[in-house]
Amino acid sequence: MGMRLRSSRWGSSGIVAVILVASTACASSGAPAPGVDTTPARDVAAAPKASSAAPVTPTAAKVKTRTSGCNTDANYEICFSSPAAKGGSDPAVVRRFVEIFNAAGAGDSLRIAMFRWDIPVTTKALVAAQKRGAHVEIVADADMTTKPAGRAVMAQIESGDPAPGNVVVCKGSCLPWRGRGPAPPSQDVNHLKYLLADIGGRRSVITSSSNFEGRQYSQVNSLARVYDDAFYDFGLQYFQRLRAQSWTVGGVTWKDAQKRYQGPPPAMVYPRRSDLVLNTLKQVHCAKGMKTVDILVAVIQRYDIRAQIGRLWNEGCKMRIVTTRDLIENWLQSPFRLPNGQRVDINDNVVRTIVAHDKVYAIHAKVGGKERYLVLTGTSNTTCGGLLYNDEMMLRLDGQWAFKTYVAHVTDAFRHAHQSRESVVPVQARCR
């Protein structure tokens, strides 16, 4: 009844894969070196064991956005952490995962793809759900096998199910690359923080910026949950391909066109060549009364994305940009030229740094010629690895409620952020 380990070769990398879904990629996010859970378990374990898995839609016309905790509207649930407002540690996002696990029982299912895992309370909650009768599957990066907590959750989930193979571990990304090798440093990983939950007959897709690591409590993070059967079905087909380490399952092969969900909500899964973030930004233009572009992304290293940000700045968009590294801040705010030769010099005061792991673009502008409110979020940093070499998911949430909710989150992070304390401007490697 041991966990299933599988090998295969993929893409131009020729890298051998093994199968869990968690990874080594957060080195690319600017996070500190891996650590242990330093937050007392009671901070997260205090979540009610019978917490409802379904959100309750607010009845008041105006409800103040929780920048630490969860917000709900119709089929969306959005949760945030704000460590700076909570004395440096905020388990709110991880706590919501625990509440979801606590709500699952007989007849329910939890399928999770996770990058890293060292928080004991999440292990306890997931194992308890399985003991209550929930079907549990894990796809993880091989990094989980290097940590006692990671090995423990894999062993307990595998031994708790009479059918073998509900734990799959990937060495490197589970799915074939879409870029030329070698992969950039610290990439080629399963970078997902991804949960498919079927609880009480309601099916939802959860994506997050937060791993199950104690150090995440000190980082700004978010979680987006979407209740939608068709989106769940798409997410399940992606999960099956992660498990199989192949884009072909049941005789059906996904090319890049099939890695896109038309929506709502529009979404893309990776590795792939084209990108939801770039495709969206190319359609954005600022105009009178619609010129907000708020960005809270841990790591931005792609020249094509910086060019779009620069174009929007030159168009007069009202911007706030928050990253997790001083050097990334410097790279974005230092003068550069667009492909057409136009000079860009983003005001240093609108670019700041905070300890963050988030991935958020909140936009109110003309998109495709029409006024729109939208948010891009998910698991991927804006890097070559996040596009071409890692397992990732990004989605777009449309509407004023989602936009205003995420803007409150960006505002909170921007308020607690600081100006770069370094003078070096890095040169980023280009995507291949």
Task: Please give the share of the chain, as a percent, with pLDDT higher than 90.
Answer: 81
Q: Which tokens sit at 272?
A: 């792939």
Domain that holds residue 165: 8-31+65-260
User: Is residue 427, in this structure, part of any structural domain at all?
Assistant: no
Q: 280 with 167, same domain?
A: no
Least Cα distance to 332 among 286, 299, 354 occurs for 299
In a domain, residue 13? The reply is yes
Q: What are phi and psi of 302, to 5 degrees?
A: -90, 130
Do 216 and 362 fall into the same domain?
no
User: Are 234 and 299 contained in the same domain?
Assistant: no
Please check the confidence at residue 169 and state whether its pLDDT lies above 90. yes
Give the pairing type, strands 318-323 and 351-353.
Answer: parallel
Distance of alpha carbon 352 from alpha carbon 420, whole angstroms: 7
Number of domains in the chain: 2
Q: Are residues 84 and 210 in the same domain?
A: yes
Residues 19, 165, single domain; the answer is yes
Average pLDDT of 181-207? 97
For residue 203, the SS3 value is strand
Same domain, 91 and 214: yes
Write the pLDDT tens digit of every residue in 130-165. 999 999 999 999 888 888 888 889 999 999 988 778
Indicate the average pLDDT of the chain: 89
Residue 46: inside a domain: no
Q: Are residues 252 and 300 in the same domain?
A: no
What pLDDT, on a 0 to 100 scale, did the predictor assign at position 37?
33
- Directed axis angle between helix 120-131 and helix 92-103, to 10°? 10
Beta strand 343-344 pairing with 292-297: unpaired
Structure tokens at 172: 């490197």
pLDDT band at residue 91 using 50, 70 and 90 as cut-offs: very high
Q: Is 14 buried (19+), middle (13-18) or exposed (0-12) by CB count in 10 A?
A: exposed
Q: Do the beta carbons of residue 32 and residue 214 sit within 8 Å? A: no
**Each residue's pLDDT tens digit, 267-291:** 999 999 999 999 999 999 999 999 9
Give the residue among 158, 145, 153, 175 at the shortest CA–CA distance from 17: 175
Report which secondary-structure segment, H or E, holds 260: strand 260-261
Domain final residue, candidates 235, 260, 285: 260
- pTM comes to 0.87
- 73 within a domain of the structure (yes/no): yes
Specify the CATH number for the domain of residue 191: 3.30.870.10
Give CA–CA dist 269/272, Å, rounded. Answer: 7
Residues 148 and 21 grouped into a single domain: yes
Both 240 and 165 in one domain: the answer is: yes
Residues 23-71 pLDDT 10s: 333 333 333 333 333 333 334 544 444 344 555 444 445 789 999 999 9
296 within domain boundaries: yes
Q: With pLDDT > 70 as the criterion, what percentage of the chain qualifies?
A: 86
**Residue range 84-91: mean pLDDT, rounded:** 98
Same domain, 140 and 179: yes
Query: Looking at the structure, do residues 85 and 217 belong to the same domain, yes or no?
Result: yes
C-alpha distances out from residue 23 to 172, 173, 193, 204, 392, Å: 7, 8, 10, 23, 11
The closest of 312, 351, 356 to 221, measured between CA atoms, is: 356
Q: Would you say residue 149 lies in a domain? A: yes
Diameter over CA atoms, the chain: 63
Q: What is the DSSP letter of 404?
A: H
Q: Which residues pair with 359 in a beta bridge?
A: 297
Q: Is 424 exposed, middle or buried (0-12, 13-18, 19+ CB in 10 A)?
A: exposed
388 within a domain of the structure (yes/no): yes
* Predicted local confidence at residue 145, as pLDDT: 87
3-state helix, strand, coil in the chain (%, to 5): 30, 30, 40
Q: Is residue 122 part of a domain?
A: yes
Query: Are 145 and 220 found together in one domain?
Result: yes
Q: What is the pLDDT of residue 61?
A: 52
